[in-house]
Amino acid sequence: MSKETPTGHTGSADSGSSSGDGDGIKQFAFAVNGWKNTMGGAYYDPSNGIFYLMEDAVDTGGEFEVLIMLLEQVMPEVVLLSSKAEESLTSCIQKAECPGGIDKTPTVVKRPSREYSASDGFKKLQRLSVRSQDGVVPSGNHRSSSTSTRSTASQEPGRDIHFSKNSNLTANAFVNVEASHYSLGAVAALLSYLQSDIARDQDNDSPQGGLFVSKVEMIKTQK
């Protein structure tokens, strides 16, 4: 069984992962958002700086099978849930009782429900700065590559990502807003969590620097 961390706590999970950018983010975090049979999510891999955004998925079975398959595939260390998340969802992640359960259950962190705002998530994506690990901003469009999967959840290559003159990501260039309402809420909660981690580390005299994002990939999950 995974352990559950109280709302607002951003302490590191017990893991040996590390971030390659040196800005303090060491956790592989996945934010989940949804209600009833519609789920969305976003996750960040600190080892390569890739920020992943799902399109919302409808789980007609009501057993969170799509989410479990994705969690099993990416194996995050931390899963962020709204403080108002359904108890069945929390229990499913903690105990891995759903079909196809998770081999290595993550730490569940409850976040305030107010952080799960789709409009805030969209705005934060627009302000997200994408750069290479050495600080160089990519020029032109960046096309993400296909990702193979080991489950029935499939990922499609991300669409072109356009960079504006101030090197910020133009979110509406690749996000299907109507199909990503819950996922954009997850983006807002995930970025709040990661940025609070950075601020805490900077207070502890860690190296300065913002969130390192090498690229953003849009994925779809299918049962």
What local confidence, expressed as pLDDT, does residue 159 receive? 35
Please indicate whether residue 25 or residue 48 has the higher confidence score (pLDDT).
48
Q: Hey, which CATH number is domain 29-130+163-218, 3.40.50.2300, 3.30.70.260, 3.30.420.110, 3.40.50.1980?
A: 3.30.420.110
- Write the pLDDT tens digit of every residue in 94-119: 765 555 556 677 888 999 999 999 99
Write the secondary structure of the chain as one string of H (helix), E (strand) and C (coil).
CCCEECCCCCCCCCCCCCCCCCCCCCCCEEEEEEECCEEEEEEEECCCCEEEEECCEECCCCCCHHHHHHHHHHCCCEEEEECCCCHHHHHHHHHCCCCCCCCCCCEEEEECHHHCCHHHHHHHHHHCECCCCCCCCCCCCECCCCCCCCCCCCCCCCCCECECCCCEECHHHCCCHHHCHHHHHHHHHHHHHHHHHHHHHHHCCCCCCCCCCCEEEEECCCC
Tell me the pTM: 0.69
Domain boundaries, the chain: 29-130+163-218
- Would the pLDDT of 162 be above 80? no
